[in-house]
Amino acid sequence: MLSQEQYSEQLYTEDEILLQVKQSIAAHGMPEVSVEPGYGRLLTMLVKLTRASSVLEIGALGGYSGICLSRGFTDGGKLTSLELKPEYAAVARRNMELAGFGDSVEYRIGPAMDSLKILESEGRKFDFFFIDADKMNYPNYLEYAIQMANPGAIIAGDNIFLRGRTLNTDRNGPAILAVRQFNEMIAKDDRLISTLLPAYDGLALALVK
Ligand SMILES: C[S@@+](CC[C@H](N)C(=O)[O-])C[C@H]1O[C@@H](n2cnc3c(N)ncnc32)[C@H](O)[C@@H]1O
């Protein structure tokens, strides 16, 4: 029997551009940990719904989520994408160009915490955040996002269940503790209106009041 996610996905026709992104990720020996297609479509919808024009992505990989986010832009928009590895950012940039978004993306290479500090010092503000990088820093990324949010901004955080490890009380490694802390912040912080979506590996969604 199909899982709920498999059932949902087989209703959609293959997306040639996103398929090409996945092929390039494999060809470069990169890990295939792009956002799940259903959440990619949700990112497009949310950017469009909120008419977000400045989007910050933490974790570019091969550009899959960058394309999904950019597809939501209405009258122009800019994606700032933070990526640790220059070789991954190069693949992401190429894929963004092939998807027609080469002129609307800016990559900042290096540890995202360093890039965030610089962006904050530049006074940058964003309408939309997609957090999808090293889990240890999820609480730090969330705090930066809240600080750099325009009112009404959306924050999305992927993989909040860590393939079940978040729920396993016998597992208490630093990344797991950090994601639990992130989820509690999302749920309890008075500056946010939020929910957690449990499909796939879990997606946290918050609106900054
Ligand atoms: C799950 S993948 C991102 C997937 C991408 N958002 C997508 O859906 O297409 C995580 C990415 O975060 C990057 N990353 C890991 N640690 C990082 C850090 N400290 N700063 C910036 N990027 C980091 C990895 O190199 C990897 O490309």
For 181-204, the pLDDT digits (tens) are 999 999 999 999 999 999 999 999
* Ligand 1 pocket mutation, candidates 84, 95, 118, criterion most atoms within 8 A of CB: 84
Rounded mean pLDDT of 40-55?
Answer: 98
75 has pLDDT over 90: no
Rounded mean pLDDT of 12-16?
Answer: 93
51 has pLDDT over 90: yes
ipTM of the complex: 0.99
- Specify the pLDDT at position 14: 85
Atom 18 in ligand 1: residue holding the nearest Cα: 111
**CA 178/CA 8 separation, integer angstroms:** 31
208 has pLDDT over 90: yes
- Specify the pLDDT at position 138: 98
Residue-averaged pLDDT of the chain? 98
Rounded mean pLDDT of 130-149?
Answer: 98
Atom 23 in ligand 1: residue holding the nearest Cα: 84
- Helix and strand tally (H, E) in the chain? 8, 7
- Specify the pLDDT at position 81: 99
- Specify the pLDDT at position 144: 98
Q: What angle do CA 77, 106, 98 make, to 5 degrees?
A: 80
Question: Where does 4-208 sit in CATH, by number?
Answer: 3.40.50.150
pLDDT tens for residues 141-169? 999 999 999 999 999 999 999 999 999 99
pLDDT tens for residues 15-47? 999 999 999 999 999 999 999 999 999 999 999
The model carries a pTM of 0.98
Q: What angle do CA 123, 42, 28 make, to 5 degrees?
A: 80
Ligand 1 center–CA 83 separation, angstroms: 6
**CA 49/CA 132 separation, integer angstroms:** 21
Ligand 1 center–CA 26 separation, angstroms: 16
**CA 117/CA 147 separation, integer angstroms:** 11
Give the DSSP letter string of 132-187.
-S-GGGHHHHHHHHHHTEEEEEEEEEE-TTGGGGGG-TT---HHHHHHHHHHHHHH
Residues in contact with ligand 1 (CB, 6 Å cut-off): 33-35, 59-62, 64-65, 82-85, 88, 111-112, 132-134
Rounded mean pLDDT of 83-105?
Answer: 98
Closest ligand 1 atom, CA of 66? Answer: 9
- Specify the pLDDT at position 40: 98
